[in-house]
Amino acid sequence: MQTDSSFTFVLFGGTGDLSMRKILPALFEAHRAGGMLADSGKIVAVARHAANRGEYIQWVNEHVKPHVSKNGVDETAWASFLERIEFVNIDLGKAEDFVHLRDAIKDLPGIRVFYLATGPSLFVPICHALASVGLNENSRIVLEKPLGYDLKSSNAINDAVGEIFAEEQIYRIDHYLGKEPVQNLLALRFGNALFEPLWRREWVESIQITIAEELGVEARGDFYDNTGALRDMVQNHLLQLLSIVAMEPPHSMDSDSVRDEKLRVLRALKPIDPRDIGKVAVRGQYHSGGIRGTAVPAYATESGVRPDSTTETFVALKVEIENWRWAGVPFFLRTGKRLADRVAEIVVNFRAVPHSALGASALRAGANRLVIRLQPNETIRLYCLAKQPGEGMNLASVHLDLAFDQFFREGQMEAYQRLLLDVINGRLALFVRRDEQEAAWRWVEPILNEWKASNKPPKPYASGTWGPAASSAMLAQHGTCWLEEEN
């Protein structure tokens, strides 16, 4: 991914957790690789927690350096990376301070990228302040989730930002779309004739999409208790993955062709009748338990969480898509914190053969399935049936395994690295368009409203398990179960 695109990358929230753990390490990896970032490109950090560039560079050395390069830091590359970094100390709440930012970057080259690694309450004030000093012209702006609390607040932010930046200037980031296995999902579907004829209701019995975490809310209790798993994970990550799994082949991989097809899926999601939410939606909250032999506390006792909180830390949903390709095929979505394992994967369960000419063992061995694992170990695994050695026709499940780290020896690109390069180079395909976001909120909102109106507490589950029993019961009603394998 070579580039000659010169740029000035302005990072708001330059001393925040996201900048420390993801954004600056991703920019370093692109710098270290050589050729991915133009030599003239500059990174301008904006924050209040450092007085000058010297203090900020010291902070980067202390806090960012431990998060880069799994195999150690190339000190020469690190030193040259630090030379890219400039620093501006301003108060983001004071529009008049943005004059200092304008003056600091006016002579820097290339396209201007403004990355808002801040709380969403600052998105609109920052955009207005940028416009007040003319920095919204010929620039790009990156917005982190969450973009709003519901459809109304999301529209309010989008309306305000849209008055200042054109849609083609706005990059709404969802880091799951930058993951290598998600890119390989597109390659698998649209680069191979083998799977496309089977990727439909006639051959697929059900599809599961899981994003499970072992971690709790950590230091995000205040934020999470006002958000919950449905807003934090389902409205964006899970529905974006669903739309990629279910979309029709795009005309090309240009930004609007891909996003048009994803939008069609989101608009085809079957609306959930509030009276049926109890049958197709499970919400849970973790209680105390153990993760890999270590005792962990209940959600309600976490720092920043209300003791009587009814915020969900687990969601499982049955989703249907009302179109020709997927009518009648259930999609099961699941996400949660303090679960038994850290895993993100897509499971395509194919239908069994219509008649078992090979006897009862073929039925016991199960049907074919395709497992696309996004994390922690990125693989694509196809399960087939094969004869066991020995007398008789006894079948067992075997698998063909593509482990990317073994097949492709060169290092894989991290999600943020890919997406930041796409912003710099003006590629919008992996970013969420406004109408996609609205369609997702519109589908999710009845669930949020019903949960709020019913005032029923979430179902408890012990930390270190796979969530409430009701989640498994929901799948059992459809004759299937969650795939829960060890890493």
Q: Do 137 and 238 fall into the same domain?
A: no
Assess if residue 158 is contained within a domain. no
The answer to whether residue 166 is domain-embedded is no
pTM for the whole thing? Answer: 0.92
Question: What is the pLDDT, as a whole number, of residue 1?
Answer: 47
Q: Are residues 297 and 345 in the same domain?
A: yes
Residues 216 and 132 reside in one and the same domain: no
Domain boundary among 99, 123, 144: 144
| Same-domain check for residues 44 and 138 | yes
156, part of any domain:
no
Domain-embedded: residue 312: yes
Please identify, among 122, 144, 166, the residue that sits at the C-terminal boundary of a domain: 144
Residues acting as catalytic residues:
237
**Same domain for 466 and 384:** yes
**87 and 140 fall within a common domain:** yes
* Domain range enclosing 264: 177-412+435-476
CATH (domain of 256): 3.30.360.10
Residue with tokens 């059992």: 476
Domain total of the chain? 2
Domain boundary among 120, 144, 168: 144
Residue 399 lies in a domain: yes
Q: 88 and 29 in one domain?
A: yes
Q: Does residue 360 form part of some domain?
A: yes
Query: Both 251 and 114 in a single domain?
Result: no
Domain membership of residue 75 (yes or no) is yes
Task: Decide if 160 is inside a domain.
Answer: no
Are 264 and 139 in a shared domain?
Answer: no
One domain for residues 208 and 322: yes
Residue 193 shares a structural domain with residue 135: no
Residue 116, domain CATH: 3.40.50.720
For residue 244, CA distances in Å to 166, 183, 252, 259, 287 come to: 25, 10, 14, 9, 34
Angle 208-209-212 (CA atoms, 0-180°, nearest 5)?
Answer: 125
Identify whether residues 105 and 197 lie together within a single domain: no
Three-state SS string over the chain comes to CCCCCCEEEEEECCCCHHHHHHHHHHHHHHHHHCCCCCCCCEEEEEECCCCCHHHHHHHHHHHHHHHCCCCCCCHHHHHHHHCCEEEEECCCCCHHHHHHHHHHHCCCCCEEEEEECCCHHHHHHHHHHHHHCCCCCCEEEEECCCCCCCHHHHHHHHHHHHCCCCHHHEEECCHHHHCHHHHHHHHHHHCCCCCHHHCCCCCEEEEEEEEECCCCCCCCHHHHHCCHHHHHHHHHHHHHHHHHHHCCCCCCCCHHHHHHHHHHHHHHECCCCHHHHHHHEEEEEEECEEECCEEECCHHHCCCCCCCCCCCCEEEEEECECCCCCCCCCEEEEEECCECCCEEEEEEEECCCCCCCCCHHHHHHCCCEEEEEEECCCEEEEEEEEECCCCCCCEEEEEEEEEHHHHCCCCCCCHHHHHHHHHHCCCCCCCECHHHHHHHHHHHHHHHHHHHHHCCCCEEEECCECCCHHHHHHHHCCCCCCCCCCC
| Block mean pLDDT (10 aa), the chain, length 487 | 77 94 95 90 92 94 88 88 96 91 93 94 94 95 90 95 97 91 86 90 96 92 92 95 95 91 97 92 97 94 95 97 97 97 94 77 72 86 86 80 73 88 94 96 95 92 97 94 76
